[in-house]
Structure 1
Amino acid sequence: MPAPTLVFDGDCAFCTRSADLARRVLPADVQVVPWQWTDLAAAGVTEERARSEVLWIGPDGAVAGGAPAVALALRAAGAPWSLAGVLLSLPPLRWVAPFVYRLVAANRHRLPGGTAACRMPPPAA
């Protein structure tokens, strides 16, 4: 992918609302697309990973997921958002952010804008 890309779950209303906010604050050259419309194989990402976490694909093709992806997107958004992205990238927030991210992701169907369709799929057996 030539441009930085934020990949989210397009079936989740909470994620879609979050992506709408991201589109408003990210620079015009950043793509914000649902994983369902993305060539995941070209990005080297599995569908399972895309279902379980937001992804940031850098212009160099490097992929970050979850809290680090959020931090990179915030940094790309510019001030004042970039300050939050920098803080999320530094200890101790960097250590706590993945736990908070997983808590939000596991409960996204309960958050404002969430629906039953936002529920995370059960882990593969």
Structure 2
Amino acid sequence: MRTRPVLVYDGDCGFCTACVNLVRRWLRPPCDITARQWAELEALGVSEERARYEALWVTPDGAVYGGAQAVAKLLSSARGGWAVAGAVLQLAPVRLLAHGVYRAVARNRHRLPGSSAACSVPAGRTPGKE
């Protein structure tokens, strides 16, 4: 049984990997961080399809949060001002805005610094939507 939350991200995406490296360095969250390519997704209770299109936060009891809410949970688990930012991102009006921002970043991550060709979302697919 897991005792720590798990952050699952796209290890093939340079932008996602750069973000995770910043998280490890600056936030030092009390969680395990793993690329979806090496994660035991079935044991985490998530599908490969979902893990392919959005970051995931999986709690020790199996609750799964995706996209902007995964980021909010990650921030909430950190110390200091990061936890405050995470709490704010979970408030109803801010949560809707955060969702839109996350989707815009996910759709355009191949254009962002640190990105690679692997960052592109296949044509006709919307990040986080099956």
Q: TM-score, structure 2 length as denominator?
A: 0.88
CA distance in 1, matches of 2:28, 2:70: 13
Between the two proteins, the alignment pairs up a number of residues equal to 124
Moved segments of 4+, more than 3 Å: none
Q: Residues of 2 paired with 1:89 and 1:30: CA distance?
A: 19
1:86 corresponds to which residue? 87
1:1-125 matched pairs, under 5 angstroms: 1-24=2-25, 25-27=27-29, 29-122=30-123, 123=125
Query: Unmatched 5+ residue regions in structure 1?
Result: none
CA contact (8 A) 1:56 1:69 kept: yes
* Residues in 1 aligned to 2:6 and 2:100: alpha-carbon distance in whole angstroms: 23
Cα RMSD between the aligned structures? 1.7
Measured in 2, the distance between the counterparts of 1:32 and 1:43 equals 13
Deviation at 1:61, TM superposition (A): 1.5
Over the matched positions of the two proteins, sequence identity in percent amounts to: 52
Question: How far did 1:100 drift?
Answer: 0.9
